[in-house]
Structure 1
Amino acid sequence: MPRKPPIVFPQEQRLLSELGERLRLARLRRKLSNAVVAQRAGISRTTLYKVEAGDPGATLGSYVRVLAVLGLENDLQALAADDKVGRKLQDLALAPPARRPRAAGKRTDPAPPPDTKPSS
């Protein structure tokens, strides 16, 4: 029984479609047929069509195999490489807690020195 495809929001679908289109264009620039890329990637032509269409049902492994056949697998190194939000959250967790200011009326001064009597 086939699995239900994952729920994909429009923005995510747009990202997948754009990725698929870039992969298709990369294949065409290299003058490779879809049959050749599918064979080298070890996937079916139907799966390659899904990858190039940005189908969310295509596995990440299929995308990686196509990237590898096209010589673009190192592009994966750039994904989430600069996690600005995560680093800020990490820095906030590492910062020492801020000290609370003392209340104005509760200032404690050191005790005055005891009275000393001059020796006679």
Structure 2
Amino acid sequence: MPSKPPTTTDTCTTQLQALGAQIRSQRKALRMNATVTAEAAGLSRVTLHRIEKGEPSVTMGAWCSAMAALGMALQARSGTDTAAQATDRTGWIPARVALADYPQLRALAWQVHGTDTLTPMEALDIYERNARHLDLQAMSADEQALLQALRLALSRKPGAEDAV
């Protein structure tokens, strides 16, 4: 029996959960605990926790306050803008590099246990230590852009960005 198509509520819930995960990731990247972040945003720690879980019952003002406390901004986009903006990641480095999004990195990081994400510096170290095992032809354009951005921003050796 085919599954039913996603409803608007399902889509909104998924988007709020993704936004909550981004907020939590930013908080972790800034090394701020939940209590300090909640106080900076003028919220209770419980409300911040609900935001990070993506609960739709939290007011929009609370979401905006939490994001502002973390140096983030909320923007509304039309559905057609999303595809165009998602593909242009030139020079973009995420606060945490998700192994699931970068197959070559995931293969190189086989020894990493207990986490699904790496700091940008950890990701660059793994790429550089295992450069001989990289398959550049099989690497997606997004992963190549990430590697180039990491090298340009974080490389410690002069000329290292030209190596691959």
State TM-score, norm by structure 2: 0.42
Identity %: 30
> What is the root-mean-square deviation in Å for CA atoms of aligned residues?
2.0
Look up the match of 2:11. Answer: 11
The equivalent residue for 1:43 is 43
Structure 2: distance between partners of 1:56 and 1:79: 16
Give distance in 2, aligned partners of 1:28 and 1:11. 26
Counterpart pick for 2:76 among 69, 76, 79 = 79
Listed as ranges, the gaps of 5+ residues in structure 1 are: 1-7, 85-120
Looking at structure 2, the residues matched to 72 and 21 of structure 1 have their Cα atoms a distance apart, in angstroms, of 13
Per-residue deviation, residues 11-54 of structure 1 (Å, max 9, x unmatched): 11000000000100000000000000000000000100110000
Could you say which structure has the greater relative contact order, defined with CA pairs below 8 angstroms and 6 or more residues apart? Answer: 1
Query: Which residue of structure 1 lines up, in the alignment, with residue 117 of structure 2?
Result: none
Give how far 1:71 is off: 0.6
- What 5-or-longer segments of structure 2 have no aligned partner? 1-7, 81-164
4+ residue runs of structure 1 moved beyond 4 angstroms? none
| Letter paired with 1:47 | T
For residue 72 of structure 1, give the secondary structure of its aligned residue in structure 2.
coil
Q: Distance in 1 between matches of 2:13 and 2:68?
A: 22
- Higher Rg: 1
- When normalised by structure 1's length, the TM-score is 0.57
For the residue of structure 2 that corresponds to 1:47, the secondary structure is: helix
* Residue 59 of structure 1, CA deviation: 0.6
Which residue does 1:92 correspond to in 2?
A: none
- Give the letter aligned to residue 50 of structure 1: R
